[in-house]
Structure 1
Amino acid sequence: MKQLTWLIFGFCFLLSCGKQTFPPASAYHVQVLQESLQPVRPGEPEKRPFWNSRAVKFIHAPAFDFKPVQQAVGYRFTATSVVDGADYIFAAQQPWAALTEVWQRLPIGYVQLKVEALDPQGQVMQLCGAKEFYKDTAFAGPYQSAALDYRASALSAWSHLFKQKHVQTWAQTGAPDPAYPLYCYPAKVIGAVVSSMARYARLAPADSTQAIAIARNAADYLIRISQPADSPLAYFPPTYHGEQLTAGAYAGQIMIPYAAEAAMYYLDLFDAINDTRYLQAALRIAGTLKKIQLGSGTWHLKVHAESGQPVQQNLSIPITIIEFFDRLHRQYHIETYQAAGDHALKWILAHPAVTFNWEGQFEDVEPSLPYENLTKHQACSLALYLLDHGEKFPESKPLIADLLHFSEDLFVIWQKPFATALSLTRGPADDWFTPCVLEQYRCYLPVDASSAKMIESFSRYYEKTGDELYLAKAVALANNMTQIQQRYGGRYRTWWQKTDGGWQQDWINCTHYDAVVMHAFGTLCAELNQSLKELDKKPLALLLSSPPQPAIIHELVRRYQQCEESALRCELLNAIALLSSDAARPLVLKAVQSKDADLRAAATALLGGFDDAKAKDFLQNTLVHGPQAMRSAAVHACLQLAEKTAAANPPAADHWRRLALQHATDPTMIREALLDMGDKTDNPLVALKKDEMKSRFQTMAQKFGFVVHWHLAGPFPLDENNLHSDHISVKSIDLSQPLRVGTKTMSWSVVSADNIQGILHLSDWFGSVPGVVYICAEMILPSPQAAQFKLGSNDGVTMWLNGVKIHHHSKGRVLTIDEDRINVTLRQGRNRLMLRIMNLGGAWQACLRICDEQGLPMDGSRWPELSNPSLKN
């Protein structure tokens, strides 16, 4: 059953329960609340850089790089919650102060922050900073049960991979299956075939011979196509091969870290069959890595294979190379490369470990400028390395904690977020399987290997420190891994969302890494269960790491019945409901009558999981007569009942949604009900709520500089003849006349974004086919003004200001708010902004924000032309 744990723990400030014989699981959430009040590695001018300029969500109270104003004596922070419309205000001596003072009071959801400089009389001198972001839910598990033992889950995933045609082809032909496009990344993906089959062979005797044949053939092929011995990058396997995906665009380039990754795959095969050819292949790569190491200690990120010269100036974050050299030393007692590894580690500790510029260094994205494309992968890998070498780095505990908090803060989603932007349009985030972990800014989507990375990091932190909170976090993500696996026939699905844009093939390297992590975590849990044989001695997280069993359910019920502390009873009741509806039903129905207000609210939130007449009567009565906390819980239960009954009884589902709409005050709940009601705009309540929410979102968007209303013409066809230009004169476009592009003519119409980030979801109107649309907006200024346009698009975009082209991006990409920044001068009088938005397939989106020359948003409502567009010139 779908659980509303964030609601439960919103009602319960969890305190440890001292009278039980079992571990005090509620201490997890006390720790979560305490930790979330502290910013993660906050920047400070002249001392430490700010890393979060492009961040869009936070679990921990953030601090931003807002500049001081001369003669200001203080700064007023106003955080406006989109959820309740309230302002949360505090004052500080510096504009970069963290939001700790109001963080606990701020509701989960979108926040619009402004910071104003104050003079000695307390009057506002000027705005010195503004930012909108999502305050995300902190960990409040448990979320769901394990569908499978973790080690059995890993074996099932390897077995599923083994049976795939594009894997079996290696045994038959000794070459990659051309039907599987991801083989265009040989070092990463073919290398993963080698390692996955070598590991699978050890666990599956019946398939061992075939699996080893696959691994051998894949390794031999990869060695054959590697760089020759006399090349600058001798023995390196290619990062790119062929023309598929991005391989054609990056032909002849090699990403240095992937050579070390492939070398470790060779070592896995050597471990499995003891054939020294593969050990030697790994050592040859190690020799080249040592030879080309830069004097600073690191390596270039991308180099040209022929010359060995860098493609860009971006440097590798060389943790994979360090891991490779360390493995040679620790496992094989080869010390030749240890000094090079130590040198590289010093570089990491002096650079990204200080700046926190954890650049996403993936083969299918361009290297980026600082902080433009962060990820958590290398940060977690460094934390793992430091944990595994604790004896060498006894002072590293604060850094390790910061690395894990950074990774969780930006990339872990514990519960389904409201949306990437508050919107009345269903967005990708509505289909995410949570809890989940996002990959990188440029692929801000839930990916299985990202969850595996956090499972490995959290579980290792627990293993080395004994901090049970991190065991609970690892279990929460691992359980979802098994649930998704069960839903999709035994495979580890790469994309953790219900819709995947037609991309059905999984990344082999992701599947394999998931299995390695899940098998190791399963082994750790088995060892813990063996050492703690009595159920009443086991932490709650460990009990939930196994599929539901009668003995575990009985133990949870016993703990619940003996517990006298309110918050812990809420958590235990939720855990019981996860594992057994039958066991939970009588406890929940009794708890809604409890004198304990927190327990009543928690139980009410769980009523939506039961198709019970008594529960339904209680819900309807609570919606009318209950206190606010109970009504809020009842609204969530109504939405859950609607979801539960939608397939079998649509009229009943609509009844519960209407009740939720009628009594909800939180935009999150209103939006969920509206999305589920679909196009039932003939219902006066639905129409009214939609209009209210749309107006609210658009007002917030304009306040923060987003252009909401546009003239639009299109869509027009896209082909190779007009990929970069439609060969029309933008200066001559007349909005009162149809626009002709090629052989197609389209009239202009007025369209509006329905979300707080001004995003036009073009694919919702026109589908996901390739095409082009033109959008136009106008504004009239009393005098010239310097400004900055902040633009995001999916995919390409061209922009004109007053008929002059000022920006062009031609490649495919996901939408990133404010990704492109263009400095302009707006003239006195009318200014026309024209954009050509190109779609190569899939999602089709665009948004534009207008800021002043310092990059601070300008309130769009000050220009009537932007608020109420007319078709007049």
Structure 2
Amino acid sequence: MFKKTTLLAILASACFAIHANAAEDVKKELKMFDYDALHKQELKAILQPVRPGIPGKRPFWNNFAKRFVYAPAFDFKKVEGAVKYRFTVLDKDKSYSFEAKEPWAALTPIWGTIPDGGGLKLNVEGIAQDGSAVGLAGERSFEKAPCFKGPYKTSSMTYEESAEKGFRAVFELGHVQQWLKTGTPDPNEPLYGYPAKIMGALMHGLVIFANDYAKDADEAEMAIKIARMNADYIIKLSDPPGRPTDALQDFMPITYWDGKDPDTDEMLMKKVLYPHKRYNLRMNPPGFDTGFGLCALYERTKDKKYLEYARRLGETYAKLQGEDGTWGLEISTKTGKSESKTRLIPTMVMPYLDHLIKKYDMTQFKASRDKAIAWMFANTIKTYNWQPQFEDTKIAKPYRNHSSVDVILFASFLMDHVSENPEYLAYAEECMRFAEDQFMLWSKKGNGAKIGPGVLEKYTFPHIEPAIGFLACKAYLKLYKATGKKIFLAKAVALIDGAVSGQKFMHEKHGSWLIMTRNGHYINPQREWVNCNIYGAMGIAEMDKALKAIRNGDKEWPSERDRSGN
């Protein structure tokens, strides 16, 4: 047996090695970026508005926005008798002014001089030929949010260590281990009431854990066993033997569950969140969460059943697609018809169909994918109404509740096709500028957040989510790969550094290594959205691999989201 002093010496040596590796990573990051030059570059970039509206030609998307990184332009109307307009921004006891021909001009002339912070008040007056004010064109209150100013690394953990701890924390959750005891979801975890999202993401995360982070073969086997149980259970819920999914006559993982066990029809769960919506399907999580999870599980196990269900899911999407190129946001499994007038923003479906096409040569889905792309350009890219379409969010009137997720996903998808469509690059950059303008936090000051940088979810839920940070990181990495612009890589690194700092905060305050959510205002590790933590860990793992490849002069690295199996 080791003596106590010997064991302590070994532990101390290991701890020193970890911190030394992290310190070396910090040095490498500082050498990789000239942060002063990048900040100066950003101070110029923020003077240009994000897709400004033009009366009668292009809608103003920001009528309900409250914060801006980039100089905004507002939908103010002309004043009778005015030949020009005076713009005045008041900040406590200071004012900043300029004049322009139209009342909807961007605040570019003064944006660089206005200090960061909230409580800013803008009024725009119509000015007559003699210089007198003849009426108010409009007024707004808003916050000027800080732009990017790195570096942001604060944690002593390396990315590799952070990713391992994140995936392991999910694997060791009580409700995850419960599967090994009963083969069914933990009755005390109500979030299993979202099977497509939670079970789908969980099977994908467990495959990555088994492939890359399990301590031995036995632990990896346990992880895959739980992943299989999740897959088999959601298949039973969504496609009972002898009874295809009601009117759909095919396979579509269910969005909501009433809590009844599919084998006994008895109530299993103590609580689920939307039991009355058991026969309603939201069309975004089945492919994005369950579909990718099934593909990952197939690659690991080579069990063709999982690939077959992944294919059937693609076929169901193709069958339910509308003539306009997209889907109803919510569809009834009893009637097969749309339950909502709202049309789906299909940014979670397109990557899944794309994956089936590219990974498995399922070319039958090209037409469906391409119709969805056309719908995006004919609709959302024209309106810029990026409304949230989560299964727990009510649909708001246009522009009242923008979300970061779909605009980031579309930017990332466009970059996957930029080689054959070079014009996609400009659209992708504009999408990411919008996401940054409205949702990215480059400073914790004034936001009530204990962690950061990060990406907020939506107007009505302004909290940092690590899963969205991962999606933005992927998009920025693709932009960097295509353009070579260091600012994109630096922003990707910053968002992952924010996730790692949140994880550190989580451990210090709550003793868990889950990837932090909710701006540091954490609830209970057992009640957290496991999909957010899994995708957050994916982002950290991908950044670890990307930076190692870039430092070695390589132009390619494995994608944790698209990668399946070993």
Q: Which whole-Å CA distance do the structure 2 matches of 1:129 and 1:232 have between them?
A: 52
Alpha-carbon distance in structure 2 between the residues aligned to 1:127 and 1:443: 33
| 1:282-317 superposed Cα distances (whole Å, 9 cap, x missing partner) | 111111111110001000111222112322211111
Q: 1:359 to 1:245 in 2, by over 3 A?
A: farther
Aligned amino acid, residue 434 of structure 1 = G
Question: Within the alignment, does 1:97 sit opposite 2:105 as a pair?
Answer: yes
Of 266, 270, 275, 1:248 maps to 275
- 2:266 aligned with 1:238, yes or no? no
Give the TM-score taking structure 1 as reference length.
0.55
What is the identity, as a one-letter code, of the residue corresponding to 2:412? L
Counterpart residue number, 1:507 = 529
* Aligned residue in 2 for 1:487: 505
Determine whether 1:370 maps to 2:370.
Answer: no
Does residue 343 in structure 1 map to residue 371 in structure 2?
Answer: yes
Is the CA contact 1:79–1:88 (under 8 Å) kept in the aligned structure 2? yes
Per-residue deviation, residues 70-121 of structure 1 (Å, max 9, x unmatched): 3321111111113xx2111111111110000110111111211111122222
Kept in 2: contact 1:436–1:496 (CA 8 A): no
Among 152, 168, 182, the residue aligned to 2:161:
152
CA distance in 2, matches of 1:168, 1:22: 41
Give the match for residue 287 of structure 2.
Answer: 260
Which one of the candidate residues 42, 48, 58 is aligned to 2:58? 48
1:391-540 aligned within 5 A = 391-418=419-446, 429-489=447-507, 491-500=513-522, 505-531=527-553
Q: Deviations over 1:153-203 (max 9, x none)?
A: 212211111111111112222211011121111100011111111221112
Residue 73 (structure 1) aligns with: 83
Q: 2:121 aligns with which of 104, 109, 112?
A: 112
Answering whether residue 247 of structure 2 is matched by residue 219 of structure 1, we say no
Contact in 2 for aligned 1:143/1:476 (Cα 8 Å) = yes
Structure 2 counterpart SS, 1:132: strand
Q: Distance in 2 between matches of 1:225 and 1:251?
A: 10
CA contact (8 A) 2:155 2:504 kept: no
Structure with the bigger percentage of helix: 2
Please give the secondary structure, in 2, of the residue aligned with 1:49: coil
Describe the superposition over 1:624-651 as per-residue Cα deviations: whole angstroms up to 9, x where unpaired. Answer: xxxxxxxxxxxxxxxxxxxxxxxxxxxx
User: Is the CA contact (8 Å cut-off) linking 1:300 and 1:313 kept in structure 2?
Assistant: yes
Q: How far, CA to CA, are the matches of 1:369 and 1:466 in structure 2? A: 39
Out of 300, 318, 321, the residue aligned to residue 346 of structure 2 is 318
Instruction: Report how many residues are paired.
Output: 500
1:25 Cα offset (Å): 4.0
| Aligned AA (2:195) | P
Distance 1:511 1:22, change over 3 A: closer
Question: Looking at CA atoms only, which structure, 1 or 2, has the larger radius of gyration?
Answer: 1
For residue 294 of structure 1, what is the aligned residue in structure 2?
Answer: 322
* Alignment counterpart, residue 136 of structure 1, candidates 128, 138, 145: 145
SS at match of 2:136: strand
Distance 2:500 2:80 in 1: 56
Summarize the Cα distance change of 1:146–1:454 in structure 2 as closer, same or farther, 3 Å threshold.
farther
Q: Which runs of 5+ in 1 are unaligned?
A: 1-20, 419-428, 533-873
Higher RCO (C-alpha under 8 Å, 6+ residues apart): 2
State TM-score, norm by structure 2: 0.85
Structure 2 counterparts to residues 628-777 of structure 1, below 5 A: none
- List gaps (5 residues or longer) in structure 2: 1-30, 260-270, 555-566
Q: Give the direction of change, closer, same or farther, for the CA distance of 1:494–1:367 in structure 2 (3 Å limit).
A: farther
Is the contact between residue 493 and residue 506 of structure 1 (CA under 8 Å) also seen in structure 2?
no
Task: Report the CA distance shift for 1:476/1:324 in structure 2 as closer, same or farther (over 3 A).
Answer: same
Question: 1:22: how far off?
Answer: 8.2
Encode CA deviations 1:398-430: one digit per residue, 9 max, x unaligned: 211111110011001111232xxxxxxxxxx33
Structure 1 residue 280: deviation in Å?
A: 0.7
SS at match of 1:445: strand
SS in 2 for 1:340: helix
Change (3 A) 1:123 1:232: farther
1:263-278 equivalences under 5 Å are 263-278=291-306
Q: Which is richer in strand?
A: 1
Q: How many Å apart are 1:246 and its aligned residue?
A: 3.8
* CA gap 1:65/1:22 in 2 versus in 1, 3 angstroms: closer
Shift of 1:436: 2.0
What is the root-mean-square deviation of aligned Cα atoms in Å? 1.9
Q: Give the whole-Å Cα distance in 1 for the aligned partners of 2:441 and 2:153.
A: 14
Moved beyond 6 Å, runs of 4+ = none
Map of 2:20 onto structure 1: none
Conserved 8 A contact 1:147-1:483: no
Match of 2:222 among 210, 222, 242: 210
In the alignment, which residue of structure 2 is the partner of 1:35? 45
2:209 matches 1:200: yes
- Find the aligned partners of 2:58 and 2:421 in 1 and give their Cα distance: 22
1:550 counterpart residue number? none
Aligned equivalents of 2:83 and 2:277: distance in 1?
53
Q: Distance in 2 between matches of 1:60 and 1:250?
A: 41
Deviation at 1:146, TM superposition (A): 4.3
